[in-house]
Amino acid sequence: MMGKLYLVPTPIGNLKDITFRAIEVLKEVDLILAEDTRTSGKLLKHYDISTHMQSHHMHNEHKTVDHVVRRITNGETIALISDAGTPAISDPGFLLTRACLEAGIEVDCLPGATAFVPALVNSGLPNDKFVFEGFLPVKKGRQTRLLLLAEETRTIIFYESPHKLLKTLNHIVEFFGSDRAVSVSREITKLHEETIRGTATEVLAYYTAKPPKGELVMVVGGKK
């Protein structure tokens, strides 16, 4: 009998933000594929999950996909988790999901934590229509993308790392205008969680004076 692939969201900071069902699935599957086994090891230990774990990240994903598909076809049930949040959202998982579906394998994605949803809702910016951009290109294609997005009328969501935030905020001022509405949420669900809202210039000034730390979600208002 063919196995199954589960995509299991994990907490983005607060370990309590895992669902009962996620814990159940992680205990019952034959194997857990984790983006970083050390990071996920802490979560599994906290919930007494002793399921065997293997590494599955963006640097080896394209090589391991066929092997994983074979294992599921031969009857194993496998769960994929990322370091934080829902697999395949700016994280490994898309290639494996696509390969499993092409092989006729059932894929079940559990609902759960994803950083951009609380950041969007908390921003106070319109959330009836929005576009998720994830990480902007670092060099090649960055300017082209920003020029295109400057005309976007829907709310835009970006993921950004702390050391690139100032560069990106400067680009928002340059390409979108200094008065464009921006909301930056940092360390969501963690002890030092904060959301800074204002114009692009105001948010840039805040983080220039106080360099950011931790995971960031930036929400930008659409063009009016």
Q: Residues 64, 131: one domain? A: no
Query: 23: phi > 0 → left, psi -120 to 50 → alpha, else beta; which?
Result: alpha
The 53-55 sheet, strands edge to edge: 53-55, 31-34, 77-81, 4-7, 106-109
Q: Residues 57, 15: one domain? A: yes
- Whichever domain contains 59, its CATH number is 3.40.1010.10
Out of 109, 130, 156, pick the residue that ends a domain: 109
Out of 109, 130, 155, pick the residue that ends a domain: 109
Q: Residues 100, 132: one domain? A: no
Q: Residues 199, 128: one domain? A: yes
Q: Supply the pTM of this predicted model.
A: 0.93
Q: Residues 45, 82: one domain? A: yes
pLDDT score of 59? 83
Q: Residues 92, 155: one domain? A: no
Per-residue pLDDT of the chain (224 residues; tens, 9 = 90+): 899 999 999 999 999 999 999 999 999 999 999 999 999 999 999 999 999 999 998 888 888 999 999 999 999 999 999 999 999 998 889 999 999 999 999 999 999 999 999 999 999 999 999 999 999 999 999 999 999 999 999 999 999 999 999 999 999 999 999 999 999 999 999 999 999 999 999 999 999 999 999 889 999 999 99
Per the structure, how many domains does the chain have?
2
- Whichever domain contains 159, its CATH number is 3.30.950.10
Query: CA 41: distance to chain centroid?
Result: 19
pLDDT score of 121? 98
Out of 109, 129, 156, pick the residue that ends a domain: 109
Q: Residues 81, 145: one domain? A: no
Which domain does 162 fall in, by range? 116-220
Q: List, in sequence order, the alpha helices (H) in 103-199.
A: 116-123, 142-149, 165-176
- The answer to whether residues 143 and 184 touch, using CB atoms and an 8 Å cutoff, is no
Q: Residues 43, 60: one domain? A: yes
